[in-house]
């Protein structure tokens, strides 16, 4: 997951928005767009999503169907890809529902990491579908940038390393 986020961060640093990230076309740049700058105010063309992956999850952010979006549509897609990687419900992540049986994970450290990952994925997928957020205009602009996502995962790994040294 970290490598995927780093790859998308690289695109964003080079003013490229993929616009159609999903498991079966991570390297397909057919709908990607080179921008002069990444900006909330940049008018985009609406995106026609390529055929959905066989699991029938729509990986495109809702605002991608309009002309009012930016590079954060890729972060939304990464959240749903992450849900698949970690075995979470894509629908729950999309809808902002914190619902997973974390108690079924016996290893406490792993359980804690899974809770942290689930929470991170929820923040990455915030949209009009998120519970109690449908009325908040442009809620999607609250999604974290890739650099923040990477930093949070590195911080968690560092904290775990320090804790194992202290114990």
Specify whether domain 2-166 bears CATH 1.10.510.10: yes
Q: What is the mean pLDDT of residues 83-102?
A: 93
Task: Give pLDDT tens digits for 39-83.
Answer: 544 455 555 555 544 444 588 888 888 888 888 999 999 999 999
pLDDT on residue 2: 85
Q: Give the C-alpha distances (Å, rounded to integers) separating 158 from 113, 124, 142, 151, 152.
A: 12, 21, 26, 10, 10
Which sequence spans correspond to the domains of the chain? Answer: 2-166
Q: What is the pTM of this model?
A: 0.77
Residues 78, 67 contacting (CB under 8 angstroms) = no
DSSP string, 85-96: HHT--HHHHHHT
DSSP string, 51-72: PPPTT----S-GGGGSS---TH
């Amino acid at each position: 997951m970290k490598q995927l986020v780093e790859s998308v961060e690289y695109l964003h640093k080079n003013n490229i928005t993929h616009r159609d990230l999903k498991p079966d076309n991570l390297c397909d740049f057919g709908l990607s767009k080179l921008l002069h700058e990444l900006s909330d105010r940049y008018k985009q063309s609406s995106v026609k999503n390529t055929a959905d992956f066989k699991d029938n999850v729509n990986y495109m952010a809702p605002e991608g169907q309009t002309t009012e979006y930016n590079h954060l549509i890729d972060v939304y897609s990464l959240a749903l890809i992450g849900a698949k990687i970690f075995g979470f419900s894509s629908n729950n992540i999309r809808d902002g529902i914190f619902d997973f049986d974390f108690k079924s994970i016996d290893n406490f450290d792993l359980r804690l990491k899974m809770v942290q990952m689930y929470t991170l994925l929820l923040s990455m997928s915030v949209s009009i579908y998120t519970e109690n957020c449908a009325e908040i205009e442009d809620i999607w602009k609250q999604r974290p940038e890739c650099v923040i996502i990477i930093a949070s995962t590195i911080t968690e790994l560092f904290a775990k390393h320090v804790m194992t040294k202290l114990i």
